[in-house]
């Protein structure tokens, strides 16, 4: 389960964003500002981190001390595409693309495709079992033989071999009127699978939750009401790690979103959070604590016993991920970090990445993936203000106060090279762009 990041913005917001880009003259090669929007950690190895960005994929092999870059073209995509990422326990990193699966094995830079999946649209990817030795992919491609005015989609779940390769379809076909958006499999009951999507059957757009209790062989359809105020999608935020019937859903519209919970596998829901479009959701390993992050609200935390949310950090949140008793977050350099790590449940964050500290294209001697990225590196280096490596010095810790993030000096556990802030004007313009997006409308994460 991932958090797709395709924005749906108003005409006014789009015009304002275009103006800021023109003034800055400093967007990435695909026209989008450099930003991070998904965090994944290799199961069983919290030293191996990966970040999806608007300009490719960043990887760290040392817990965030150093970051290498893989360009979009090396993975096999381009433009405003944000591929879903998942990591196999053996170190294979998987990206779900609009035309198949792309995979990179541990210690390599090359990305290869799986022939069995062909050119199918891969909507989401996830782990298929508790020890992450099998991966799942949700496909959802438009049926070109659909009757005009009655679009149909060919959707199913595919699973890898225990080694992370050798994909095959493992579920029955999903209802053809549903545009699938996200899915996941229960860690405690792997036969329990949830899929979310929307349907326009009958002319009105409505949310859909599909539930299987036999590994995807049969599906129970459960309707889900979208708010009339502009919600355009429903997504699976999390499945409780200890209760297969407890699920969290996220909705998102142009300027608002909700988090809902069901304790009966989707038969009924109640709203536990509402605000601007949520950009991140995380659940602790015991299912007792949850976090919701957004640009306006910052980071909020609640106990699952009472669902009473409190704001614990004002840093704008672009993504969240929980692993190894650590909360990881995406934000903006203008607010302190592009990626941060918290060991106190989000109260403070260590900055583990500033974009101008990326080392360069991922270096794999003798591997075919580097030359493509090497040719694109000078442009990215200039865009995010990367200079020659210097001693980064002490890194700030960001804690949440009512007035915003407060910087404190900390030991340099997270130091990386290149900390000089050459590109401050661009960071200032990025902040203006975010404000333009959020006032009066907010970006939607598809």
User: Does the pLDDT value for residue 427 go beyond 80?
Assistant: no
Which range among 158-162, 235-239, 432-436 shows the weakest confidence by mean pLDDT?
432-436
**Mean pLDDT of the residues in the chain:** 82
Q: Tell me, what's the pLDDT at 395?
A: 54
Q: Using pLDDT thresholds of 50, 70 and 90, give the confidence band for residue 309.
A: very high
In the numeric block, which tokens belong to residue 359?
A: 């080392």
The pLDDT of residue 303 is 98
d(CA 346, CA 355): 21
Do strands 310-313 and 68-70 pair parallel, antiparallel, or not at all (unpaired)? unpaired
State residue 110's pLDDT score: 87
Residue 347 near residue 400 (C-beta atoms within 8 A): yes
Predicted local distance difference test score (pLDDT) of residue 8: 34
Average pLDDT over residues 56-63: 95
Q: Who's near 257: CB < 8 A, 6+ residues apart?
A: 231, 250, 251, 274, 275, 276, 277, 278, 294, 444
Q: Which residue has the higher pLDDT, 150 or 380?
A: 380
Q: Would you state the pLDDT for residue 24?
A: 38
Instruction: State the helix-helix crossing angle for 11-24 and 424-438, rounded to 10 degrees.
Output: 170
pTM: 0.83
Strand partners, 196: 182, 209
The three-state secondary structure class of 13 is: helix
Q: Per-residue pLDDT for 16 more than 50?
A: no
Rounded Cα gap, residues 104 and 110, in angstroms: 6
What pLDDT digit, counting tens, does each position of 160-191 carry?
999 888 999 999 999 999 999 999 999 999 99
Query: Cβ(235)–Cβ(249) under 8 Å?
Result: yes
Q: Which of 13-22, 328-337, 425-434 has the highest mean pLDDT?
A: 328-337
pLDDT at 424: 40
Mean pLDDT on 146-167: 89
- Average pLDDT on 411-437 reads 38
pLDDT for 148: 73
Average pLDDT over residues 327-337: 95
Distance, CA of 138 to CA of 158 (rounded, Å): 6
Tell me what pLDDT residue 392 has: 44
DSSP string, 127-171: ESSTT--SEEEEEEEE-TTPBTTB--EEEEEEE--TTS---EE-S
The predicted pLDDT at position 202 comes to: 75
**Predicted local distance difference test score (pLDDT) of residue 401:** 55
Q: Which residue has the higher pLDDT, 363 or 121?
A: 121
| C-alpha span between 181 and 413 (Å, rounded) | 38
Contacts of residues 291-299 at CB distance under 8 Å and 24 or more positions apart, as own/partner, are: 291/320, 291/322, 291/327, 291/345, 291/346, 292/259, 293/317, 293/318, 293/319, 293/320, 293/329, 294/257, 295/434, 295/437, 295/438, 295/442, 295/443, 296/438, 296/442, 298/400, 299/329, 299/346, 299/400
Mode of pairing for the β-strands spanning 404-409 and 360-361: unpaired
Whether residue 431 is predicted with pLDDT greater than 60 in this model: the reply is no
Sorting pLDDT into bands at 50, 70 and 90, what band is 444? very low
Identify the structural domains of the chain with CATH numbers, from first to last: 11-438 (2.120.10.30)
pLDDT score of 334 more than 50: yes
- What is the pLDDT, as a whole number, of residue 347? 96
Per-residue confidence band for 252, with pLDDT thresholds at 50, 70 and 90: confident
Cβ atoms of 43 and 106 within 8 Å: the answer is no
Confidence of residue 368 (pLDDT cuts 50, 70, 90): low
Half-sphere exposure for 383 (CA within 13 Å, toward CB): 23
pLDDT at 200 (0 to 100):
86
* Helix, coil or strand: residue 408: strand
Structure confidence at residue 255 (pLDDT): 87
Beta-strand pair 360-361/68-70 = parallel
Of 1-10, 21-30, 199-208, 409-418, which gets the smallest average pLDDT?
Answer: 409-418
397 or 379, greater pLDDT: 379
DSSP character string of 92-103: -EEEEETTEEEE
């Amino acid at each position: 389960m991932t958090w797709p990041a395709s924005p749906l913005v108003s005409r006014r917001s789009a015009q304002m964003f275009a103006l800021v880009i023109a003034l800055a003259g400093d967007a990435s090669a695909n026209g989008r500002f450099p930003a991070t929007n998904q965090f994944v950690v290799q199961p069983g190895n919290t030293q191996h981190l990966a970040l999806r960005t608007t300009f490719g994929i960043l990887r760290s092999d040392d817990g965030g001390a150093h970051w290498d870059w893989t360009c979009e073209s090396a993975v096999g995509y381009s433009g405003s595409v944000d591929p879903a990422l998942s990591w196999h326990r053996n170190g294979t990193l998987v990206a779900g693309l609009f035309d198949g699966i792309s995979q990179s094995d541990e210690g390599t830079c090359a990305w290869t495709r799986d022939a069995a999946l062909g050119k199918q649209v891969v909507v989401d990817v996830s782990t298929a079992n508790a020890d992450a030795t099998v991966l799942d992919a949700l496909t959802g491609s438009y049926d070109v033989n659909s009757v005009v005015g009655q679009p149909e989609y060919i959707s199913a779940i595919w699973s890898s071999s225990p080694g992370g390769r050798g994909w095959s379809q493992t579920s029955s076909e999903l209802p053809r009127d549903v545009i699938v958006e996200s899915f996941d499999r229960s860690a405690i009951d792997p036969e329990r699978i949830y899929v979310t999507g929307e349907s326009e059957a009958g002319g009105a757009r409505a949310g859909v939750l599909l539930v299987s209790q036999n590994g995807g062989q049969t599906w129970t359809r459960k309707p889900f009401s979208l708010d009339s105020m502009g919600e355009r999608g429903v997504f699976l935020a999390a499945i409780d790690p200890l209760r297969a019937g407890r699920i969290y859903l996220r909705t998102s519209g142009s300027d608002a979103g909700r988090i809902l919970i069901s304790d009966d596998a989707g038969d009924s829901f109640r709203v536990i959070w509402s605000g601007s479009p949520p950009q991140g959701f995380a659940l602790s390993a015991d299912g007792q604590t949850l976090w919701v992050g957004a640009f306006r609200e910052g980071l909020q935390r609640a106990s699952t016993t009472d669902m009473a949310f409190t704001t614990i950090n004002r840093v704008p949140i672009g993504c969240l991920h929980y692993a190894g008793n650590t909360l990881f977050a995406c934000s903006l350099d203008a607010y302190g970090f592009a990626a941060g790590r918290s060991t106190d449940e989000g109260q403070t964050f260590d900055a583990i990445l500033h974009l101008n500290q990326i080392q360069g294209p991922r270096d794999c001697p003798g591997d075919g993936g580097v030359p493509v990225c090497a040719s694109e590196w000078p442009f990215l280096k200039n865009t995010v203000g990367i200079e020659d490596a210097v001693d980064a010095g002490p890194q700030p810790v960001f804690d949440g106060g009512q007035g915003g993030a407060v910087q404190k000096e900390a030991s340099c556990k997270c130091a990386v090279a290149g900390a000089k802030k050459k590109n401050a004007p661009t960071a200032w313009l990025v902040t203006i762009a975010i404000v333009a997006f959020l006032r009066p409308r907010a970006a939607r994460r598809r």
